């Protein structure tokens, strides 16, 4: 796709004075915009994409340049190709044009790199040329998330329009040079109807600045509040960000983040805990900013930071660049397309969709709202048509003007009616739960805001407590998943609560957005234009729109289960397993304890120690070890490496050759008996596929000797042996723990020329997180609660491998007829040293 360049010849200099009355007899919208150059920001967004498509499809003579922020991977042109032209919005145009699509687009569409968050829009010379050449600039870039961080909303929503205005003003000279005699660039700035707030009464199509200048009374919809010192707001927000960044780095806060990370991940190693703590810090700053934004907006009378920053954005634009030809378009809640490019087209999972889906899945049982209140929804194609018509119509010679695109006055959709429609539709077309059972949607009781919030808060608190409790229990495998399910419910409840907080204001809106100017524009259109660019809110049949267009589209986009049967989950497991066992994989790393065998180093030690104890002392020895187990487990939780080093000292003085012989016996009698046969089969399967297999364990070499034939590489601990052939209790090879496991695997992969991205790793606990994270295909085996939660969140494959039915009741070695007493001596010495 060619970068935009200034046209080499002067463009058409047709005068664009607006027609004054009645239906035009002129060339119509397409004719008026023929030969015009449009410059669109926010084209990768929902509204922007639809606008670009409509211009390319329905206004054959125009040229469209889009401003796109390059990402780290994609430059502006590539991103435009992928995110704008690649969207299914263009399916219709592609179909209509066939082979001509690429040629048509190449001739009429261009992308320039830039960012509305930066002064001068971050344009280069080519970009500035394209902007200067533009006859119409449509500024639709915005942070539309209602829970955006306050500072981001301020930078984009508040300062963005004025930046665009400034860039246009700065390009005026270049424009005069490039297009002598051309009229000044018309800026169509997209705002929101909610800049007027949500309180009862009529909100007219008037700019706040104009209203205040003409001496309107305070506390009307047009002003919301009186003066706001915009510069002071901007300064305050920027300082708030700095303050929060500083506050988040205070030792007590950092301690809190680290503790939270440890609660979540356990002993996952320094790096991962640090990474997680840093993310928690980031999240905290963001959450504080979101909260600050809402508080500030509500303090000044707006429902949220979005409406607030948009309102101030309008004011700043008009205040600083009132001399430019400006039209502000204020749509209400934009939803899926009524007809163009195809019924139901929608981009992204937006405001109402998650609420609707949560309701259909039975998660959101109540949502506050007034049944008789108007929920002001407008299909995206009506907004697009209105913008195109406004662009064709030209600026109001009287100065900056406003056009609202809303349905509330002309064709109101009542909240009660919407709820009824949604409920009926999902009763006829239920979603299905994980067991393939249809979900019955709840009856809606239109409760008040406060009650719902309190209910959800209580639910969240209870679930949080349950989650804490479950996470602290030593659960494994399928029982550990219970904690995962509770966590999921808690997150659902939290999400529901945030929906209520964020969107509650919109379902309780009592404001009526007037569309007089919009309808006047509609009246001026020729019947052909009215057909081609329909934006009359009166045409929407809400019943048909909700049932036949919007809900099917929402369900399709939400990727929820709409068919009964249990197959989906099973298929997912099978698919994951197939991916893991694909020939492209070439490396499989396994943890030992609780991944391949349900045993641990303490059991192995007890077994080996009792092997040669006289019969009478065996049980007592096993009992002593059992009694010490809680203390050992505590050390283990703190630091696995320390635990192993300390524990292995107990082998001090044991004859190495006996240990080696007994180790093999231990393997066959204890480890194999406590193994997960499916795990052993999996190792063998990888080998049969030609994959390298690596065992990474903290166990001692003579304990895992019997497993060696299964692995290409065994990484384990090894004890030193003295001149008399006795083990000295000091480790000559340290067992890899935590991130060392990932390093060991990375070193092995590098030495063997293998790609970790194609590797598989199997482990059972969060302390193996570094190992699991370093490969492309992590598998959680019978995960404990923390890992179960992580695997669930990240969509990792989980295997539940059953233990064989042969568990020995006590980890005691078989009675040795010729019991020697050396173990007893060692045990005695150990007891004395304590």
Partner 1 sequence: MSPRPGYVLEVDRSTPPTLFWHGEGYRLERLPQGSRVVYAPEPIEPLADPVAAVRHALDHPLGDSQPLRSLLRPGMRLTIAFDDVSLPLPPMRRPDNRQLVIEQVLDLAAEAGVDDVVLIAALALHRRMTEAELRHALGDRIYDAFAPHGLLRQHDAEDPSELVHLGTTDQGEDVELSRRAAESDLLVYVNINLVAMDGGHKSVATGLASYRSLRHHHNAHTMRHSRSFMDQHRSELHSSNWRMGRLIAASGVRVFQIETTLNNDAFPEQFRFLQRREWEWSARDRAAFVASSAALARTPARLARSVLHGIAGPHRMTSVQAGEVEAVHAVTTGHVHAQQLVEVDGQSDVLTMGLPYISPYNVNSIMNPILVACLGLGYFFNLYRGRPLVREGGVLIMSHPTRKAFHPGHHPSYIDFYEEILAETTDPAEIHKWEEAFATDPWYVHLYRTGHAYHGVHPFYMWYWCAHALDHLGAVVVVGGEPSTVRRLGFRPASTLADALEIAADVVGPSPSVTHLHAPPLMIADVR
By beta-carbon proximity to partner 1, the closer residue of 638 and 660 is: 660
- Assess 821 for contact with partner 1 (CB under 8 A): no
Among 559, 817, 831, 833, interactor with partner 1 by CB under 8 A: 817
Grouping H, G, I as helix, E, B as strand and the rest as coil, residue 266 is: coil
- From residue 761 to residue 800, the character string flagging contacts with partner 1 as x (rule: CB under 8 A) and all else as - is ----------------------------------------
Span interacting with partner 1, options 20-28, 179-187, 212-220, 666-674, rule CB under 8 A = 666-674
Q: Is 667 in the site for partner 1 (CB under 8 A)?
A: yes
Which tokens belong to 610? 């009792």
Between CA 306 and CA 334 the distance in angstroms is: 14
Helix (H, G, I), strand (E, B) or coil at 441: coil
Is residue 806 near partner 1 by the rule CB under 8 A? Answer: yes
User: Cβ 821 to partner 1, closest distance in Å?
Assistant: 17
CA separation, residue 7 to residues 106, 134, 177, 184, 530 (Å): 15, 10, 11, 16, 32
User: Exactly one of 668, 733, 821, 828 binds partner 1 (CB under 8 A); which one?
Assistant: 668
Closest CB 701 distance from partner 1, rounded Å: 16
Three-point CA angle 251, 256, 262, nearest 5°: 125
Q: Judged by CB under 8 A, which of 458, 566, 793, 807 binds partner 1?
A: 807
What totals of helices (H) and strands (E) does the chain contain, helices first?
34, 18
Q: Are 777 and 577 in contact (CB under 8 A)?
A: no
| CB contact at 8 A, 65 and 37 | yes
| Cα→Cα distances 370→203, 415, 449, 513, Å | 19, 7, 10, 17
CB of 678 to partner 1, least distance (A): 8
CA proximity to 762, closest of 593, 599, 588, 600: 588
Tell me which stretch binds partner 1 (CB under 8 A): 58-66, 86-94, 674-682, 775-783.
Answer: 674-682
Stretch that binds partner 1, among 288-296, 339-347, 497-505, 675-683 (CB under 8 A): 675-683
Contact flag: residue 232 with partner 1 (CB under 8 A): no
Residues 6+ apart with CB under 8 A from 237: 150, 151, 154, 292
CB closer to partner 1, 598 vs 754? 598
From 10, 12, 8, select the one nearest 33 (Cα to Cα). Answer: 12
Which one, 213 or 615, has the nearer CB to partner 1?
615
Of 237 and 598, CB closest to partner 1: 598
H-only helix segments in 711-803: 739-752, 769-773, 785-794
Report, in Å, the least distance between residue 343 CB and partner 1: 48
Q: Contact between 690 and partner 1 (CB under 8 A)?
A: no
What is the smallest separation between the CB atom of 784 and partner 1, expressed in angstroms?
23
For position 706 contacting partner 1 by CB under 8 A, the verdict is yes
What residues have CB less than 8 Å from 634, skipping those under 6 apart?
none
Whole-angstrom CA distances from 299 to 150, 336, 573 are 14, 32, 50
Please identify, using beta-carbon distances, which residue of 465 and 681 lies nearer to partner 1: 681
Q: With the CA atoms of 484, 489, 493 and 498 taken in that order, what torsion angle do they form, in degrees rounded to the nearest 10? A: 50
Residue 615 near partner 1 by CB under 8 A? no
Could you say whether residue 805 binds partner 1 (CB under 8 A)?
Answer: yes
CB atoms under 10 Å from CB of 834, counted, come to: 6
Backbone torsion region of residue 476, taken as left when φ is above 0, otherwise alpha when ψ lies between -120 and 50, otherwise beta = beta
**Do the Cβ atoms of 653 and 638 come closer than 8 Å?**
no
Q: Which is nearer to partner 1, 549 or 666 (CB)?
A: 666
Among 78, 234, 632, 673, binds partner 1 (CB under 8 A): 673
- Cβ-count burial of 666 within 10 angstroms (0-12 exposed, 13-18 middle, 19+ buried)? buried
**Minimum distance between the CB of residue 811 and partner 1, rounded to whole angstroms?**
15
- Comparison of 181 and 809: residue with beta carbon closer to partner 1: 809
Nearer to partner 1, 458 or 668 (CB): 668
Measured CA to CA, the distance from residue 503 to residue 509 in angstroms comes to 10
Residue 677 touching partner 1 (CB under 8 A): yes
Q: Is residue 513 a contact point for partner 1 (CB under 8 A)?
A: no
Put residue 346 in one of left, alpha, beta given phi > 0 → left and psi -120 to 50 → alpha. Answer: beta
Among candidate residues 172, 182, 185, 178, the one with its CA nearest the CA of residue 7 = 178
Instruction: Give the nearest distance from C-beta 725 to partner 1 in angstroms.
Output: 19
End-to-end CA distance of the chain: 77
Cβ at position 671, least distance to partner 1 in Å: 9
Query: Phi/psi at 371 (nearest 5 deg)?
Result: -60, -30
Least separation in angstroms between residue 591's CB and partner 1 is 18
- Report in angstroms how near the CB of residue 673 gets to partner 1 at its nearest: 5
Q: Which is nearer to partner 1, 83 or 701 (CB)?
A: 701
- The single residue among 362, 669, 689, 743 that binds partner 1, judged by CB under 8 A, is 669
Helix 449-472 to helix 477-507 angle (10° resolution) is 160
β-bridge partners, 675:
597
Q: Is 818 in the site for partner 1 (CB under 8 A)?
A: yes
In the bound state with partner 1, the residue whose beta carbon lies nearer, of 348 and 814, is: 814
The window from 313-321, 573-581, 585-593, 813-821 that contacts partner 1 (CB under 8 A) reads 813-821
Q: Taking CB under 8 A as the rule, does residue 183 contact partner 1?
A: no
Query: In whole angstroms, what is the distance from residue 149 CA to residue 285 CA?
Result: 9
- Residues 180 and 80 sit within 8 Å (Cβ to Cβ): no
Which of 212, 234, 539, 672 is close enough to bind partner 1 by CB under 8 A?
Answer: 672
Residue from 600, 537, 543 nearest 764 by CA: 600
Please state the closest distance from residue 89 (CB atom) to partner 1, in A: 48
SS3 category, 6: coil
Nearer to partner 1 by Cβ, of 269 and 679: the residue is 679
Binding flag, residue 804, partner 1 (CB under 8 A): yes
Interface mask (CB under 8 A) for partner 1, residues 708-747, using x and -? -xx-------------------------------------
Minimum CB separation of residue 672 from partner 1 in Å reads 4
Binding of partner 1 by 573 (CB under 8 A): no
Contact flag: residue 212 with partner 1 (CB under 8 A): no
The alpha-helical segments, DSSP class H, found in 343-447 are 352-360, 380-393, 415-428
- Binding to partner 1 by residue 87, rule CB under 8 A? no
Q: Which of 705, 704, 732, 722 lies closest to 648 in space, CA to CA?
A: 732
680 binds partner 1 (CB under 8 A): yes
Which position among 246, 626, 681, 734 is part of the footprint of partner 1 (CB under 8 A)?
681
684 belongs to the binding site for partner 1 (CB under 8 A): yes
- Does residue 416 contact residue 543 with C-beta atoms inside 8 Å? no
Tell me if 581 contacts partner 1 by CB under 8 A.
no
Nearer of residues 131 and 680 to partner 1, judged by Cβ: 680
Count the residues of the shown chain that bind partner 1, applying the rule CB under 8 A. 22
In terms of CB distance, is 394 or 663 closer to partner 1? 663
Among the listed ranges 170-178, 535-543, 621-629, 667-675, the one in contact with partner 1 (CB under 8 A) is 667-675
Q: Which of 814, 825, 828, 829 binds partner 1 (CB under 8 A)?
A: 814
Lookup: tokens for 200: 């009862």
Give the interface with partner 1 as residue ranges (CB under 8 A). Answer: 664, 667-669, 672-673, 675, 677, 680-681, 684, 706, 709-710, 804-807, 814-815, 817-818
């Amino acid at each position: 796709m060619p970068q935009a360049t200034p046209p080499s010849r002067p463009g058409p200099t047709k005068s664009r004075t607006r027609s004054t009355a009645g239906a035009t007899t002129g060339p119509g919208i397409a004719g008026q915009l023929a030969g015009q150059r449009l410059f669109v920001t926010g084209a990768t967004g929902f509204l922007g994409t639809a606008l670009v498509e409509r211009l390319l499809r329905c206004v054959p003579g125009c040229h469209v340049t889009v401003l796109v922020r390059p990402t780290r991977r994609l430059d502006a042109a590539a991103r435009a190709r992928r995110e704008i032209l690649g969207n299914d919005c263009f399916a219709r145009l592609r179909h209509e044009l066939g082979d001509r699509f690429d040629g048509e687009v190449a001739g009429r569409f261009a992308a320039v790199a830039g960012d509305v968050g930066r002064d001068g829009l971050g344009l280069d010379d080519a970009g500035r040329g394209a902007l200067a050449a533009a006859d119409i600039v449509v500024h639709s870039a915005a942070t539309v998330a209602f829970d955006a961080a306050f500072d981001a909303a301020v930078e984009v929503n508040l300062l963005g329009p004025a930046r665009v205005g400034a860039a246009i003003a700065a390009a005026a000279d270049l424009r005069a040079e490039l297009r002598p005699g051309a009229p000044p660039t018309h800026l169509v700035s997209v705002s929101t109807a909610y800049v007027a707030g949500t309180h009862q009464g009529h909100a007219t199509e008037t700019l706040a600045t104009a209203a205040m200048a003409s001496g309107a009374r305070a506390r009307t919809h047009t002003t919301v509040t009186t003066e706001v010192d915009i510069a002071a707001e901007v300064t305050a927000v920027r300082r708030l960000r700095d303050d929060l960044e500083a506050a988040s780095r205070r030792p007590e806060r950092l301690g809190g983040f680290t503790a939270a990370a440890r609660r979540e991940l356990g002993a996952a190693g320094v790096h991962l805990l640090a990474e997680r703590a840093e993310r928690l810090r980031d999240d905290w700053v963001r959450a504080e900013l979101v909260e600050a934004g809402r508080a500030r907006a509500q303090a000044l009378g707006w429902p949220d930071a979005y409406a607030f920053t948009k309102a101030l954005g309008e004011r700043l634009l008009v205040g600083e660049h009132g001399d430019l030809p400006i039209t502000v378009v204020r749509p209400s809640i934009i939803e899926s397309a009524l007809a163009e490019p195809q019924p139901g087209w929608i981009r992204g999972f937006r405001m109402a969709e998650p609420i609707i889906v949560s309701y259909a899945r039975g998660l959101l049982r109540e949502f506050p709202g007034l049944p008789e209140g108007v929920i002001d929804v407008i299909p995206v194609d009506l907004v697009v048509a209105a913008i195109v018509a406004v662009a064709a119509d030209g600026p109001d010679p009287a100065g900056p003007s406003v056009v609202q695109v809303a349905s509330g006055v002309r064709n109101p959709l009542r909240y009660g009616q919407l709820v009824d429609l949604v409920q009926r539709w999902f009763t006829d077309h239920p979603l299905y739960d994980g067991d393939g059972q249809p979900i019955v949607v709840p009856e809606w009781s239109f409760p008040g805001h406060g009650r719902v919030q309190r209910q959800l808060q209580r639910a969240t608190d209870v679930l949080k407590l349950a989650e804490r409790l479950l996470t602290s229990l030593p659960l494994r495998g399928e029982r550990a998943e219970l904690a995962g399910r509770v966590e999921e419910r808690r997150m659902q409840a939290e999400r529901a609560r945030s929906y209520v907080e964020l969107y509650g204001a919109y379902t309780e809106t009592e404001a009526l957005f007037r569309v007089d100017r919009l309808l006047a524009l509609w009246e001026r259109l020729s019947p052909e234009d009215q057909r081609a660019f329909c934006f009359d809110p009166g045409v929407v049949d809400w019943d048909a729109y909700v049932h036949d267009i919007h809900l099917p589209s929402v369900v399709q986009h939400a990727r929820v289960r709409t068919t009964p049967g249990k197959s989906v989950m099973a298929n997912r497991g099978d698919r994951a397993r197939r991916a893991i066992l694909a020939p492209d994989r070439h490396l499989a790393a396994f943890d030992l304890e609780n991944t391949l065998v349900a045993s641990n180093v303490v059991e192995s030690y007890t077994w080996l120690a009792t092997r040669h104890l006289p019969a009478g002392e065996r049980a007592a020895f096993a009992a002593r070890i059992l009694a010490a187990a809680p203390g050992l487990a505590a050390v283990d939780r703190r630091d696995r490496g320390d635990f192993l080093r300390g524990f292995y000292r107990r082998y001090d003085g044991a004859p190495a050759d006996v240990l080696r012989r007994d180790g093999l016996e231990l393997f066959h009698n204890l480890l194999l008996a406590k193994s997960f046969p499916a795990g052993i089969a999996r190792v063998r399967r990888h080998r049969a596929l030609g994959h390298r297999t690596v065992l990474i364990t903290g166990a001692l070499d003579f304990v895992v000797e019997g497993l060696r034939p299964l692995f290409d590489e065994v990484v384990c601990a090894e004890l030193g042996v003295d001149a008399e052939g006795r083990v000295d209790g000091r480790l000559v090879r340290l067992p890899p723990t935590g991130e060392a496991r990932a390093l060991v695997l990375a070193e092995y992969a590098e030495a063997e020329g293998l790609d970790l991205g194609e590797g598989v790793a199997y482990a059972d606990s969060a302390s193996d997180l570094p190992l699991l994270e370093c490969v492309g295909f992590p598998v959680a085996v019978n995960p404990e609660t923390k890992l179960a939660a992580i695997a669930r969140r990240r969509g990792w494959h989980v295997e539940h491998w059953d233990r064989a039915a042969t568990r020995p009741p006590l980890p005691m070695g078989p009675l040795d007829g010729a019991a020697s007493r050396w173990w007893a001596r060692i045990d005695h010495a150990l007891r004395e040293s304590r």
